[in-house]
Amino acid sequence: MTAAAETVPGAAAPAAPPPVLGRVRRRTVAAFLAPAVIALLAVGIVPLIYAVWRSLYDFNLTRVARTRFVGLDNYATVLTDPTFWAAMRRTAFLFVTAVPVQIALGLLIALLLHRPGLGMAKALTRLALVLPMATTYAVVGLLAQVTMNQRYGVFNQMLGWVGLGPVNILGNPQNAFWAVVFWDVWQWTPFVALVLLAGLSTVPPEVEEAARLETRSHWTILRHVQLPFLIPSLVAVLILRTADTLKLFDMVFTMTRGGPGNATEFIAILIERTGNRQFNIGMASAQAIVLLVITIVLARLYVRLFYRET
Amino acid sequence: MTRISWASALALGAALAMPAAAQEWSLEAAAEPYAGTQLDVLFLDRPGYAAALQMIPEFTERTGITVNVTTVPYENALGEQVRDFVAGGDLDIALIDLVWIGNFAENGWIVPITEFTENPDLVDPNLNLDDFFPLLLDAFGSWGGVTYGLPFDNYSGLLFYNRCMLEEAGFDRPPETWQEVMDTYGPALTKDGRYAFALQSKRNETQSADSFARFLWPFGGSFLDAEFRSNLLSPESQAGLQFRQDLMQFMPEGIVAWDHAETVNALAQGDVAMITEWSSFYFTLTNPDTSTIVDCLGVAPEPEGPAGRRPALGGFSLAVASQADEAERAAGWLLIQWLTSAENAERYLRLGGVPGRQAVYEIPGVAEEFAFVPALVESWQEGVPEFRPRFAEWPEITEIVQEHGTRMMLGEVSVEEGARLIGEQMEAVLEAAGYYDGTKPLVQ
C-alpha cells in the first residue's frame, strides 16, 4: 500500500516539507548565492557571450550599418595573423623574463621576512611592499616616462653620478622592452613576496625547528621542508602572474603605447588597438577569445603539472 | 581705453549701423525658448579649450543654457565620441578633429549647419561664414561639399626656433627650405650635446600627422593617388620619407619616443634649436613659467620642400550631434555660433585660443603682439585639406602608419619596405571599405 492510499479522502494533505540541504533551506542557500551569481553573470558571463557573438561578425563601430555575419572568418584571420603571434611571442618573452625574477626576488624577501627578530623593520618592510602594488598601473607607466626620460629622468641622472652617459631608454626598442620588464618586476615582486611569506607561515614550526637541528644548510631546509609548503602559493602566483601578463595594458600604454616601433606591443595592447583605435570590435573580440582560450589552457597546465608533483 | 574697449566700441558702432533685421536678433532672445537646456560636450586639455571654458559662463548667464564639459585626453576623444554616438548617448555637440569629419558625417552623427543657418531665429546675422579661413572651414568642418561644423580650435604647423642659438651659429634668419635645414642649419647647430632639430615622432597620431605626413607633402608625395591606391612608393613620397630618415642625424637620440611635450620642452629648455609644432604651443613657449627662451623665440612658416610649402594642418571644429533633441540642437548651435563668432574672436585669442576668423588677424597690433600670427596666416593660405585623409577609414590607417612609420625611423625596416607595408595594408582597408568596387566615392 502506498502512502497516497492511506490518505483520508477529503482531508487536507499535509504540506510537503520544504527541501533542505543539510539543515539549511534551499531557498536560503539560493538567496545567499544569488547576488554573487547575478554579479558574475552580469560582469563575466554575459559580456563573454556577447564577445563570442560579436566575434562572428564583421562589426566595426565606424561602419555599423555594414555589419555582417562572417562565421569563423575573424578567428581564421587572427590565427594566421603574424602581428597577433608576434604580440603573443613578445608577451611570452615578457613572462619568462619578468616572472622568474619576481619569484626569485619575492622568495628572497619572503625568506628574510620569515626569519625571527627585527620586528619593527619587518613591519615597515611589509608596509613598503604594499606601496608598489597599490600604485595604479597607469601611474606606474607615467612614473616610468618621467624617471626614464633621457635628458631629465632620474635614471640617467644616477648613471651620470657613476660616470655613465645618458641611456636612451624609452626610444630604443630593446631598452624599452627591458624597461617594461623592470617596472613589472618593481610592481609585482612585492605581491609575490607577500604570497610566499603567507605560504611560509603554513610550514609547521616544529617541523622547521627539527630541520634546523638536523642541518644548518638554508638551501636544504628550503628545498626539503619549506618548498613543498610553498607549491600552492607558487601555483597561485604563476596563474595570477600569467593572467596579469597576458592582460598587461595600462602601464605599457601610458609608458610606450606599444612602441617604439612595436617593441612593446603586447597582446593586450594589440587587442585594445584593434577594438578601441581601429574600432574593429569583431576582430578584437576574436583576438580576446583566442587569448582567453590560451589563458585557460595555461592555467589547467599549471594545476596539472604542479599539483601532480605535490 | 584698452584695445578690447575699442573693439567693443567698434562692434557697437557696427551693430548700430546694421539693417533692422540684424539689430533685432540677439543671443538672449534666440536662446529664450531653450533656457534650462543642458548641453554635453567633450573638450581637450589644451589652451583653446581653457579659453572657451573661461568664456562659457557668460554664455550661460546670457542664455540660461548650461554646458556640461568633460575634459579628456586627445587619445581618448575619438573613442569616447564614437561609442557615445553608436550607443545613442548624451553628447549634444561633436568635437571633430579634421581627420574625423568623414567618419562622423558618413555615419550621420552630425547635423549640417544649414538646419540652423536657414532658421532666422537661430542664425546670427553676423555669422558671416566667409570670414573663416576657407581652408579651415573646408578641411575642419566640411565633408562631401556639406558644412557640418565651425572651426573652433585651429592649428597650423609652424617653425619655432631659438633665435639666439641661430645667431650664435651665424644665422640671421630661420631656414626657408628643408634642404637648408639638412645642408646648413643641421650641421652648424648640432654640437655640444644640443641638436638642430627635433621632430615629434611617438607612435600615436603624432607619428602620422606630425612626422610621417610632414615629409610627404612638401616633397610632392601623398598617401594616395587619384585612384586611391597607395602613393607611398612614388619617387616623391620616397624622397620625402628618406629625407626624414637622413634628417634624424640632427635630432636627439630616441626621437621616436618623443611626443609634443618632450619636443616643445626641448626647445623651451634650449636643448634643440628648431622644432615644427602646432601654432597652439606658442603660448607654452612664451610663458616664462614653462620656457627659458621667451626672449629668444622666433616663429616662421614651416620650411618649403621641392613641392613648395605644405605645412601640417590640424584642428577641430564643433558640430551639433544628430542624437541631440530639438532643444539641444538649437542650444548647441547657439553655443557653437557664439564661441566661434567674429565678435568673440579677439577675446578667444587673448585667452589662449587660436580663432579661425580672418578679420581678427587684421586688427591693428594683433600681428605684433602675437608673433605667430603672420606665419599662421601665411600657412593657412598654403595648407592641404587632405594632409591626412579625412575619410572614415583614417582611424584604421593611422594605426598602420604609426606602426611602420616608427619601425622605419628605427631602421627595423627600410624606407621602401616600410612604405610598401603601409601601402599594402592601407589598400586592404580601403578595399574592405568599398572604395575600389565603386561602393564609396573616392573622397578624402
CA distance B277 to B17: 42
Q: Are B257 and A280 an interchain contact pair (Cβ–Cβ within 8 Å)?
A: no
DSSP secondary structure, A151-210, as one string: TT-HHHHHHHHTTPPP---TTSHHHHHHHHHHHHHHHHHHHHHHHHHHHHTTS-HHHHHH
Listed by start position, the domains of chain A span 82-309
List phi, psi (to 5°) of B389: -55, 140
End-to-end Cα separation, chain B, in angstroms: 48
Reply yes or no on whether the pLDDT at A120 is more than 90: no
- pLDDT at site B18: 46
Count of alpha carbons within 13 Å of B77, Cβ hemisphere only? 24
The one-letter code for the residue type at A278 is: Q
Reply yes or no on whether the pLDDT at A37 is more than 60: yes
How many CB pairs (< 8 A) connect A and B?
79
CA distance to B50, B141, B386, per residue, from B94 (Å)? 17, 11, 20
Reply yes or no on whether the pLDDT at A48 is more than 60: yes
Confidence class of residue A46 from pLDDT cuts 50, 70 and 90?
very high
Reply yes or no on whether the pLDDT at A141 is more than 90: yes
Q: Which residue has the higher pLDDT, A126 or B179?
A: B179
- pLDDT at site A307: 66
- pLDDT at site A1: 37
- pLDDT at site B225: 93
The DSSP 8-state label assigned to residue B359 in this structure reads G
- Which residues fall within 8 angstroms of residue A93, CB to CB, at 6 or more apart? none
Please provide the CATH number assigned to the domain covering B3-154+314-382: 3.40.190.10
Q: Are A279 and B266 an interchain contact pair (Cβ–Cβ within 8 Å)?
A: no
- pLDDT at site A235: 87
The ipTM, to two decimals, is: 0.77
User: What's A82-309's CATH class?
Assistant: mainly alpha
Listed by start position, the domains of chain B span 3-154+314-382, 156-312+389-433
Q: Are A64 and B86 an interchain contact pair (Cβ–Cβ within 8 Å)?
A: yes
Give the β-pairing of B272-278 and B195-198.
parallel
Q: Which CATH architecture has domain B156-312+389-433?
A: 3-Layer(aba) Sandwich (3.40)
For residue B368, the cross-strand partners are none
CA distance A126 to A115: 13
B3-154+314-382 and B156-312+389-433 share one CATH topology? yes
Q: Which residue has the higher pLDDT, B367 or B418?
A: B418
Between A81-85, B227-231, B382-386, the lowest mean confidence (pLDDT) is in B382-386
CA distance B276 to B174: 12
- pLDDT at site B10: 43
CA distance A114 to A116: 6
Mean pLDDT computed over B254-283? 92
Q: How many residues does chain A have?
A: 310
Mean pLDDT of all residues belonging to chain B: 91
Confidence class of residue A10 from pLDDT cuts 50, 70 and 90?
very low
Q: In 10 A of CB A243, how many CB atoms? A: 13
User: pLDDT, tens digit, for every residue of A161-180?
Assistant: 988 878 889 888 999 999 99
- With pLDDT > 70 as the criterion, what percentage of chain B qualifies? 95
Task: Determine the residue of chain A that is closest to B85 in CA distance.
Answer: A61
CA distance A304 to chain B (A): 39
- pLDDT at site A14: 58
Q: Which residue has the higher pLDDT, A115 or A42?
A: A42
Choose among B103, B392, B410: nearest Cβ to A260: B410
Mean pLDDT computed over A193-205? 91
CA distance A163 to A165: 7
Q: Is the previous residue joined to B288 through a cis bond, with omega within 30 degrees of 0?
A: no
- Decide: helix, strand or coil at residue B277: strand
User: pLDDT, tens digit, for every residue of B59-75?
Assistant: 999 999 999 999 999 88
